[in-house]
Structure 1
Amino acid sequence: MLSLFRGIVRQPRNASRHLLLAAGTALLVAAAPAALAQEFKLAMSSPPTSLDPHFYNLFSNLNVSDHMFETLVKMDADSRLIPGLAESWTLVNNLTWEFKLRKGVKFHDGSEFTAEDVVWSLDRTATIVNSPGKFDVYTKAIINKKIIDPYTIRLTTKEPYPLMLADLTSVYMVSKKATQGLSSDDFSSGKGMVGTGPYKFSKYLRDDRIEMDRFAAYWDKKPASWSKVTLRFIPNGATRLAALLAGDVQALENVPTPDVARVRNDASLTMVSKVSHRLIYLYLDGLRDKSPFVTDKDGKPLDKNPLKDIRVRKAISMAVNRDAIRDRVMEGLSQPTNNLVPLTLFGHNPDLKVVKYDPEAAKKLLAEAGYPNGFGITVHTPNNRYVNDEKITQTIAQMLSRIGITAKVEGMPMSIYSARGIKQEFSMGLLGWGAQTGEVSSPLRAIAACDDPVKGFGVTNWTKFCNPKMDVILSKAMNEVDDKARLKLLQEATAITVNDYGLIPIHQQVTTWAMKKGITYIPRTDERTHAYEFSQK
């Protein structure tokens, strides 16, 4: 058994909370007997926008990357930290972490994974250009990287940084030899697709499928259930389910909500579900004096942006009937919220109750703000990324009409949506964020904080909405190593964010998986769908 506490001088309490589980926790990967090894076809609900594991911190990209690339630290099905390519770690002093790498780990081209590849991978995240959501938010705190030997590396931060381990679960290790000189576009042809994961790249058809072969030299033999894996990208829920029923795939993610009862009652299928850490929310352009998709009731652009008024933003929140969305749109597969993370994650604020649906009070707020007759707005949304994303947005638009806001909806594929969103082209839209670090600092940093490239704040804050007071408190929390004090700071930062209505929480998404009878899967809080974690009984 690995000793993860070897040589620790001092360790932040919140880090130790996770590390206690790490030493004896095996990866939640089930393996089929060798005799059953075969091709496994899995239907995914959203295609990747890039195969470069450092290009865009988008869930559909991560889902694919997980099969071929790995991180120093991983998370289990309940978002607890466990060893990855680093077999152990110690806190040398308040600012320095030492990581011991697994020896004998091979890349898919046969070369050895060493500390030099770690430095290269950590540095590369900052070099990516035109990314809608960069990974360097997870490496900003590191000010020095020192290679002790090929299997030992020390990472130093400017200030005590309790999120080091959690951040490293999001940075994939790539081969320096295989990726030097490549652009992100090169990865789609297979160049640079050289990881250490259980499967290696074989073939990619954009928006259709990616094929992978089992990596025979993988350091952990357990995920070798299937000799070949095909991830098919089928955004349409009905088509995805039809593929499962026809036997074209053996499993799928995100059961279409209208078909949940049918799938549960089908003796030939198995379904599992779990409340995820993914927040579905509305973002509002409350910063600019003029906003591109805000008009009067006749469709003429307004000289003054009503979204700058907190009363208007609050009215929009009060106009959303979250319970109705859960019951009528999501078929019960959502958890209405006014938080940024679910109850099970660190930083959840129990004092933030779900906003009460109150259209009459919302109308009064609009009148007080100077919009007694409302105004017009276009609400943008992806239509192939989240469960019922466009349907949710259409429902919200109808609810807004009841308080006098004439809302039109424009949906588009996530690849187009994200490319436009990062350019601040929208006034209001629907988006989702998963707390990848297993706590509320993840959404606070990425979608709520003021835009600050130096700190890595606001990387997915598409409207650049900013509350400096929240940022000050969040920055304190990022350097606080005492759990109790840090929790209080994070909860305070969450309250400021939510009560300022720069973003409006709608619900935590419930994730579902369905598979042919005889195949099992352990549902994950992080929503990840890993072919190597499906197994045959």
Structure 2
Amino acid sequence: MTLRAALLAASLLATPALLLGAPRDAAAQDNLRIGVEAGPTSLDPHFASLITNIAFSRHVFQPLMEQDHRQDLRPAIATAMRVVDETTWEVTLDPRARFHDGQPVTVEDVAFTIARAGDVPNSPSSFRYATRPIAAVEAVDATTLRIRTHQPTPLLPNFLALVMIVSKRHGEGATTPDYNAGRVMVGTGPFRHVSWQPGSPVVMERNPNFHGAAPAFARVEFRPIANAGARVAALQAGDVDLIEIVPPDHFARFRAEAQRFAVAESPSNRLIFLTLDSDREDSPHVRGKDGSRIANPLRDARVRRALSLAINRDALVSRVLQGQALAAGDLGPPGYFGTSPDLTPPPFDLDAARRLMAEAGWAQGFAVQVNGPNDRFVNDEQVVQAIAQMWTRLGLTATVETRTRAVWLSEAAQLRYSVNLAGFSPNPEVLGMLETQIHSWDAQLGLGTANRGRFSNREIDALIQRARTTINDEQRRALTQQATRMALRDQTALIPLYFQVNTWAMRRGITYEARTDEMTLAFSAGRAAR
């Protein structure tokens, strides 16, 4: 199934019938209560390049061009962003776009934002990747500007689609605590900030002067409910109207209870995969079966390929994830720019895996620990357990250790794992995965920044660097496909497992436009036709 066909099917699932029973009063019907897994870590739209933070920021602020539910670009503050030459982009601002204080968006606001976004103190996940390519922002006239880059940067519009434009008037000299306190939460978005405290609900009200389509609900409250079962219970009890990240078994039940609830789902662009320590001679969690130190077998591409073939992806999808996933053999889901139709999920082939292990000199196997989170992805701990069991059948002594999200993120960044369950969403091309996960770690170039296995191949690096400076779409697509085939088919730089399916459930009478990027946005919610 193509991504577009899957999205169409998901949109059909998201169309509920009439709400039964006594209606809520008029004021309550204009309020939307959303149960989310987590609130923002900060209201500062440039503090952290995290999907959750960006999603909340998009309510109060806007980027130049924004991504729709399929991650195609559409106008936001800008009406157009076009190529002038290989290092120059011309941006036309929408004269209707106004900050909440009534002031128009100016070239100075855009320049101020680009200067600020990659340089926020203590940022745990900087937007510098988006702003580093920019050499200058120049005014052409009151509503036109040109952005000059150091080198051709074909993904610049998509990078900047995640950078929210802030008011220079309010933001100059403002700190992250000023945003968190609500003092400078002045954007152009469809909602105005009302209140927030860490760990407490985020409350917003509709912006009556928004230049785009008006949100369906006047007041929105995002309630952080970390536990999936508790989110489900809150929807069933009527304490919230909409929830995200629905456990597979409960999703099926909500879908079956069409008289009370509606559901929405979409294939995700997030690849769930295994990183493998292919760099260190002595890897921290790879040992001989007797516990002795051994030369790291994960450095051998044959061993990495064997581990991939020993994983039954269909079983992971059907049993562990109860059908809420799509088995993966590429870095992006079907239909994504840069994917290759021939990169299908590797078949489960235990015999071939054993032959490769023997060829590499590891017929008797070795001991390995599989790490991962236990509260980050759907059924993540069960996935890690299942993979360890599959590798045991290959002859490995495989153990498991999972951590809570915060600990797991920190330890993964410190390279404390040999094998780790991870997830990443390209933005919005496969090239985004190649740059961050496959390219050799290079702090100066800003590449390989999430390459936790420290995989490195000079020939693949050269292809990635050519692709990232190629403006021509077809040429960039070909380079991306070539680099991906080499990385996955020849080298098994990482082990792709599956693409998640994003899920939402809601009380009947509400609709939700399911998204590939996992964001839960209040302006994607609507009312069912009566």
TM-score, normalization: structure 2?
0.87
Alpha-carbon spacing, 1:413–1:70, altered in 2? closer, same or farther (3 Å): farther
1:281–1:506 Cα contact (<8 Å) kept:
yes
User: Match for 1:345 among 319, 336, 339?
Assistant: 336
Task: Return the offset for 1:94.
Answer: 3.5
Alpha-carbon spacing, 1:125–1:325, altered in 2? closer, same or farther (3 Å): same
3-state DSSP class of the match of 1:98? strand
| Alignment partner, residue 460 of structure 1 | 450
Taking the aligned partners of 2:225 and 2:385, their CA distance within structure 1 comes to 22
- Structure 1 segment 223-238 matched on structure 2, within 5 A: 223=215, 225-238=216-229
1:212–1:228 Cα contact (<8 Å) kept:
yes
Which piece of structure 1 moves more, 68-77 or 403-412? 403-412
User: Match for 1:495 among 485, 490, 493?
Assistant: 485
Residue correspondences, number: 501
1:170–1:436 Cα contact (<8 Å) kept:
no
1:132–1:460 Cα contact (<8 Å) kept:
no
Alpha-carbon spacing, 1:64–1:405, altered in 2? closer, same or farther (3 Å): farther
Alpha-carbon spacing, 1:530–1:496, altered in 2? closer, same or farther (3 Å): same
| Alignment partner, residue 521 of structure 1 | 512
Residue 435 of structure 2 is aligned to residue 445 of structure 1: yes
User: Match for 1:480 among 467, 470, 473?
Assistant: 470
Taking the aligned partners of 2:453 and 2:186, their CA distance within structure 1 comes to 36
Residue 174 of structure 2 is aligned to residue 196 of structure 1: no
- Structure 1 segment 281-300 matched on structure 2, within 5 A: 281-299=273-291
- Structure 1 segment 66-145 matched on structure 2, within 5 A: 66-108=58-100, 111-128=103-120, 131-145=123-137
* Residues 460-504 of structure 1, C-alpha deviations (whole Å, 9 max, x = no match): 222332222112112222222333222211110111221322211
1:276–1:527 Cα contact (<8 Å) kept:
yes
Taking the aligned partners of 2:504 and 2:218, their CA distance within structure 1 comes to 22
**Residue identity matched to 2:275:** Y
Task: Return the offset for 1:207.
Answer: 4.2
Task: Return the offset for 1:303.
Answer: 4.9
3-state DSSP class of the match of 1:65? helix
Which piece of structure 1 moves more, 492-501 or 155-164? 155-164
1:276–1:510 Cα contact (<8 Å) kept:
yes
| Alignment partner, residue 371 of structure 1 | 362
1:294–1:376 Cα contact (<8 Å) kept:
yes
Taking the aligned partners of 2:124 and 2:384, their CA distance within structure 1 comes to 22
| Alignment partner, residue 17 of structure 1 | none
TM-score, normalization: structure 1?
0.86
Taking the aligned partners of 1:64 and 1:403, their CA distance within structure 2 comes to 45
Q: Where do 5+ consecutive residues of structure 2 fail to align?
A: 1-25
| Alignment partner, residue 392 of structure 1 | 383
**Residue identity matched to 2:439:** A
Task: Return the offset for 1:371.
Answer: 3.1
Which piece of structure 1 moves more, 451-460 or 282-291? 451-460
2:203–2:219 Cα contact (<8 Å) kept:
yes
Task: Return the offset for 1:67.
Answer: 1.9
2:86–2:471 Cα contact (<8 Å) kept:
no
**Residue identity matched to 1:68:** V
3-state DSSP class of the match of 1:524? coil
3-state DSSP class of the match of 2:416? coil
- Structure 1 segment 150-229 matched on structure 2, within 5 A: 150-181=142-173, 184=176, 187-190=179-182, 192-223=184-215, 225-229=216-220
Alpha-carbon spacing, 1:104–1:249, altered in 2? closer, same or farther (3 Å): same
User: Match for 1:276 among 268, 277, 280?
Assistant: 268
Q: Where do 5+ consecutive residues of structure 1 fail to align?
A: 1-33
Which piece of structure 1 moves more, 442-451 or 477-486? 477-486
**Residue identity matched to 2:64:** L
Alpha-carbon spacing, 1:212–1:482, altered in 2? closer, same or farther (3 Å): same
| Alignment partner, residue 17 of structure 2 | none
| Alignment partner, residue 329 of structure 1 | 320
**Residue identity matched to 1:244:** L
* Residues 302-337 of structure 1, C-alpha deviations (whole Å, 9 max, x = no match): 352222121221122112110000100111111101
Task: Return the offset for 1:299.
Answer: 4.4
Task: Return the offset for 1:107.
Answer: 3.2
Percent identical: 38
User: Match for 1:432 among 423, 433, 436?
Assistant: 423
User: Match for 1:240 among 231, 247, 263?
Assistant: 231
3-state DSSP class of the match of 1:430? strand
3-state DSSP class of the match of 1:338? coil
1:95–1:156 Cα contact (<8 Å) kept:
yes
Alpha-carbon spacing, 1:265–1:167, altered in 2? closer, same or farther (3 Å): same
Taking the aligned partners of 2:523 and 2:177, their CA distance within structure 1 comes to 27
Task: Return the offset for 1:75.
Answer: 1.6
**Residue identity matched to 2:482:** E
* Residues 17-70 of structure 1, C-alpha deviations (whole Å, 9 max, x = no match): xxxxxxxxxxxxxxxxx9886221111234444443323332222222222221
Alpha-carbon spacing, 1:298–1:151, altered in 2? closer, same or farther (3 Å): farther
Taking the aligned partners of 2:433 and 2:378, their CA distance within structure 1 comes to 19
**Residue identity matched to 2:430:** V
Task: Return the offset for 1:182.
Answer: 5.2
Which piece of structure 1 moves more, 285-294 or 80-89? 285-294
3-state DSSP class of the match of 1:173? coil
1:134–1:459 Cα contact (<8 Å) kept:
no
Residue 51 of structure 2 is aligned to residue 59 of structure 1: yes
Taking the aligned partners of 2:48 and 2:380, their CA distance within structure 1 comes to 20
Note the aligned Cα RMSD (angstroms).
2.5
Alpha-carbon spacing, 1:317–1:207, altered in 2? closer, same or farther (3 Å): farther
2:30–2:218 Cα contact (<8 Å) kept:
yes
**Residue identity matched to 2:455:** F
Taking the aligned partners of 1:508 and 1:39, their CA distance within structure 2 comes to 33
* Residues 55-105 of structure 1, C-alpha deviations (whole Å, 9 max, x = no match): 333222222222222110112222221111112233333321111212253
3-state DSSP class of the match of 1:143? strand
Taking the aligned partners of 1:57 and 1:296, their CA distance within structure 2 comes to 40
Taking the aligned partners of 1:246 and 1:488, their CA distance within structure 2 comes to 52
**Residue identity matched to 1:248:** D
| Alignment partner, residue 250 of structure 1 | 241
1:133–1:459 Cα contact (<8 Å) kept:
no
* Residues 87-145 of structure 1, C-alpha deviations (whole Å, 9 max, x = no match): 22333333211112122533345554322221122222332455554322223332221
Taking the aligned partners of 2:329 and 2:222, their CA distance within structure 1 comes to 34
1:43–1:233 Cα contact (<8 Å) kept:
yes
Taking the aligned partners of 1:424 and 1:113, their CA distance within structure 2 comes to 43
| Alignment partner, residue 8 of structure 2 | none
